[in-house]
């Protein structure tokens, strides 16, 4: 499967999962140091085809394809230009995650052990108007370490070394957000203590084979 085909497949998945509706969301994948594949503007992700995937350069200029580059292109470029190890960016509006982004000042980062180890710290970026450079700038405090970021009153961004990694991080984020929503409807959520989280970090590499990014720790 080609990289473009993988990107189309991910577009179909985020639509089928309900992470986007109508023309929402945008997905991209880095081809090499000079080229990025990205979804064009104004197309439903469930209907997207190979012809709807454009090729741009590191400054967002169209290199190949027909159509308008997504208005959120700067969001993607912000990640790629700051994270050389990242090769895919997925921006969606998943319901439960977006609800948290619209109702909470901080994401509950101290609840689930597997989330602490796999997603790391989940920040909520300061609100900025969609489709502006300001939205991309809102990632600044977190872009160098975060694997997923919530956009206040807007949606979420997931990044990864490849398309599958970015997609599964988005999927995991929404699953956790939904679980938090349900838990809150039942009663008070039990959070992990600092000592419990530090113990988790202490066994992460030997027990789970997960190397912890120091910047991405929920508690340092």
Q: Report all structural domains of the chain as residue ranges with CATH numbers, in order of start.
A: 3-216 (3.40.225.10)
**Considering the entire predicted model, what is its pTM?**
0.96
CA dist 28 and 86 (Å) reads 11
With beta carbons less than 8 A apart as the criterion, state whether 100 and 151 touch: no
User: 53 phi and psi, to 5 degrees?
Assistant: -95, 120
Angle between helices 95-103 and 163-186 (to 10 degrees): 60
Catalytic residue among 6, 16, 64, 72: 72
CA dist 142 and 190 (Å) reads 26
72 is catalytic: yes
* Digitized pLDDT (tens) for each residue of the chain, 220 residues in all: 899 999 999 999 999 999 999 999 999 999 999 999 999 999 999 999 999 999 999 999 999 999 999 999 999 999 999 999 999 999 999 999 999 999 999 999 999 999 999 999 999 999 999 988 899 999 999 999 999 999 999 999 999 999 999 999 999 999 999 999 999 999 999 999 999 999 999 998 888 888 888 899 998 7
């Amino acid at each position: 499967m080609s990289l473009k085909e993988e990107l189309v497949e991910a577009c179909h998945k985020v639509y089928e999962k309900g992470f986007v509706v109508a023309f929402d969301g945008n997905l991209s994948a880095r081809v090499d140091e000079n080229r990025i594949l990205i979804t064009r503007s104004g197309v439903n992700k469930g209907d997207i085809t190979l012809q709807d995937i454009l090729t741009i350069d590191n400054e967002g200029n169209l290199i190949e394809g027909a159509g308008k580059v997504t208005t959120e292109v700067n969001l993607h470029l912000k990640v790629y230009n700051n994270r050389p190890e990242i090769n895919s960016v997925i921006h969606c509006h998943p319901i439960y995650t977006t609800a948290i982004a619209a109702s909470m000042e901080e994401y509950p980062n101290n609840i689930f052990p597997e989330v602490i180890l796999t997603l790391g710290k989940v920040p909520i970026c300061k609100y900025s108007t969609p489709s502006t450079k300001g939205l991309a700038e809102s990632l600044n405090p977190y872009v160098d370490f975060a694997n997923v970021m919530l956009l206040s009153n807007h949606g979420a961004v997931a990044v990864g070394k490849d398309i599958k990694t970015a997609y599964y991080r988005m999927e995991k984020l929404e699953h956790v957000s939904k679980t938090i929503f349900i838990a809150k409807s039942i009663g008070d959520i039990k959070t992990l203590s600092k000592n419990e989280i530090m113990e988790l970090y202490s066994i992460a590499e030997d027990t789970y084979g997960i190397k912890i990014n120091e910047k991405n720790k929920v508690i340092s």
